[in-house]
Chains A and B, each alone.
Chain A
């Protein structure tokens, strides 16, 4: 039973449906083992934004406060998209390569272990 309700066949309205985002999709982005940022960021993005644009235009605002940000080598970063290993194509749009509404993109930077090598 998807809900225990008095009303037969009750359905909730989906508050975060894609159509509520004015053409954008909502994407969550997290940098593994860099807990200066207490949580992943929630960012509304145009679905046709390329991954290259994401790295150049979105990442600095989202993660540039970290002292290790400038040292990131994007070529060696490992990516997870919704929990699955993922090799982003920098020239392709987000949606085109499987980034959906409310997808979670995680990246890990193997050579950067966070502040004091403590995952921060």
Chain B
């Protein structure tokens, strides 16, 4: 009978020992993506495994979590958990999650699998492969949690199809496409560090606490089930950055540039979270502004102090973001209020109580700049002309968000930036997006911008309605348009027995 391995030996055999020497092939050819970004690795053996986990322990641990998770999903479903949420308006937040965020888990799964092949250091390879499996599990559990809602609410039914095509979903999709089409080290700084370490709390905490505050136990539970995985992902993100900075001093300017870029890219995607927090949750957790202060300014502030010993400085545009925290969520929600007819979730004018909450949370901006927008919208709605913006908006070439963000020193004026590259003009919402373009124009000239694609005739129809119905597969009059009077609203009222 074979002797049982002790834990230390088992760990060595199942991680570092998975590597082998290349005696008749050039190692460089086996890992062809490792050099072109300019990152210098002198000694992969200095890589410290961010978590000590072997595959067999991983399976066992994850299986336990799955068992508990699916028991709760079953109970949620059998007890008609969906009728216990605060209000059917809440469900729009998780429509946004399923169409906008869950497919990113899948993209992360693919991305980590790809870079997990490309590093010649075995420690990094194993860690990336494990994260890849986690991400696949996350997308699966999220889809399973949401499938219950899909039976009772509109807007969930075509989430992967929509993710690839719908205009606002091109914002998170292109963010990940950008990271995945970069080299393996940039991917790790983009996703492993900037997204999973620096910004993750601004994505998951708002959605999960939003769910908890609004009676959505299914979402809370998959959030909890992912938490220990996320903790591992954060340690990987931190290990990557420390490793790169310790390996060679020439890595510093490259890493700093990526941090600058990916903080801005990630922050722009978080505009969707900001509006979710301030506008879509009937029971609000905290404002976007407060979340940014707690999870970025306080938490990341100390992180960057810690990284200062390597020469890393606070990313560019953090001051701009600090100014924008007074405006971001309002401007983002307004874009969706304008184009609700083209969206697979509903929007609405905040109630009087909610407007007062916004005034209280944003005392220096809301009443002056944003409350009047809703007053005009309410007047139009009262006159039977609920405002749906005609035509299609101008998009930013980099973040792909409609150019609805304003100058911070002149908040009623759109912020316009542009660059001319090889005789063509490109437009950006911000200095952050312009800088990213100017650094790699050949990458962003082929951004797939949804508005431009519609006008070029590549989205299956000449008129917007055909595009929405056939190309996006929006169930017209059910998935889209104003919340009040929508089928979701009417069903909810019928279940609750209110007129």
Q: Are B418 and A42 in contact (CB under 8 A)?
A: no
CB neighbours (8 Å) of A32 from chain B are: 413-414
Q: Are B424 and A15 in contact (CB under 8 A)?
A: no
CB within 8 Å: A-B pair count = 161
Taken together as a complex, chains A and B put the C-alpha atoms of A39 and B402 apart, in Å, by 6
* Bound Cα distance from A2 to B457, whole angstroms: 29
B338 interface neighbour in A22, A38, A102, Cβ under 8 Å: A38
Cβ–Cβ contact A15 & B445, under 8 A = yes
Asked if B48 CB lies within 8 Å of chain A CBs, one says: no
Number of residues in B with C-beta < 8 Å to the partner?
Answer: 61
With A33-B413, A35-B373 known to touch, is A42 a contact of B456 (CB < 8 Å)?
no
Q: Which residues of B contact A11 (CB under 8 A)?
A: 442
B372 near A42 with CB under 8 A, answer no
A72 at the B interface (CB under 8 A): no
Say whether A3 contacts B389, CB under 8 Å.
no
| Interface of B (DSSP majority class) | mixed
Residues of B within 8 A of A102 (CB): 424-427
Determine whether A52 belongs to the interface, using a CB cutoff of 8 Å to chain B.
Answer: no
Report Cα–Cα, A67/B372, bound state, in Å: 14
Partner of B393, one of A1, A12, A38, A118: A38
Of B387, B424, B426, B441, most A-chain CB atoms within 10 Å:
B424
Q: Which residues of A contact B36 (CB under 8 A)?
A: 4-6
Contacting pair B393 A35 (CB below 8 A): no
Taking A12-B446, A17-B424, A65-B387 as contacts, is the C-beta distance between A30 and B373 under 8 angstroms? no
Is there contact, CB below 8 Å, between B418 and A38?
Answer: no
Question: B320-339 interface mask toward A, CB cutoff 8 Å, 1 = contact, 0 = none?
Answer: 00000000000100110111
Question: Measured between alpha carbons, how far is A24 from B296 in the docked complex, in Å?
Answer: 45
- For residue B32, CB closer than 8 A to chain A, the reply is yes
Contacts of A40 in B (CB 8 A): 393-394, 403, 414
Q: Which residues of B contact A30 (CB under 8 A)?
A: 394, 414, 416
Q: Is the CB of A38 within 8 A of B455?
A: no
- In the bound complex, residues from chain A placing their C-beta under 8 Å from that of B33 are 6
**CB of A49 within 8 A of chain B?**
no
Evaluate contact between A42 and B394: CB separation under 8 angstroms. yes
Q: Closest residue of chain A to B456, judged by CB?
A: A20
Distance in angstroms between the alpha carbons of A110 and B457 in the assembled complex:
37
Within 8 A of B (CB), among A58-110: 61-62, 64-65, 67, 82-83, 100-104, 106
Interchain CB contact under 8 A, B418 and A83: yes
**Residues from chain B with Cβ under 8 Å of A15 in the complex:** 445-449, 452-453
CB-contact partner of A115 in B38, B376, B393, B455, under 8 A: B376
Interface of A is mostly: loop
Residues 347-386 of B at the A interface (beta carbon under 8 Å): 368-369, 372-373, 375-376, 385
| A12/B455 in contact, CB under 8 A | no
Closest residue of A by beta carbon distance from B397: A16
Contacts of B453 in A (CB 8 A): 15
**Given A2-B440, A42-B452, A12 and B445 touching (CB < 8 A)?**
yes
Give 26 pairs: A residue, B residue, CB < 8 Å, sorted on A.
A2-B421, A2-B441, A3-B440, A4-B36, A4-B38, A11-B442, A15-B445, A15-B447, A16-B449, A17-B424, A22-B456, A28-B427, A30-B416, A33-B413, A36-B387, A38-B337, A38-B404, A39-B414, A41-B390, A41-B394, A42-B392, A64-B390, A83-B418, A104-B418, A116-B376, A120-B372
Given contacts A42-B395, A116-B376, 20 further A-B contacts (CB under 8 A): A1-B440, A4-B38, A5-B36, A12-B443, A13-B445, A15-B449, A16-B452, A30-B416, A35-B334, A36-B387, A38-B334, A38-B404, A39-B402, A62-B390, A65-B385, A67-B376, A83-B418, A101-B424, A118-B372, A119-B412
Closest 6 CB pairs of A and B: A119-B412, A3-B442, A39-B393, A12-B446, A38-B404, A39-B402
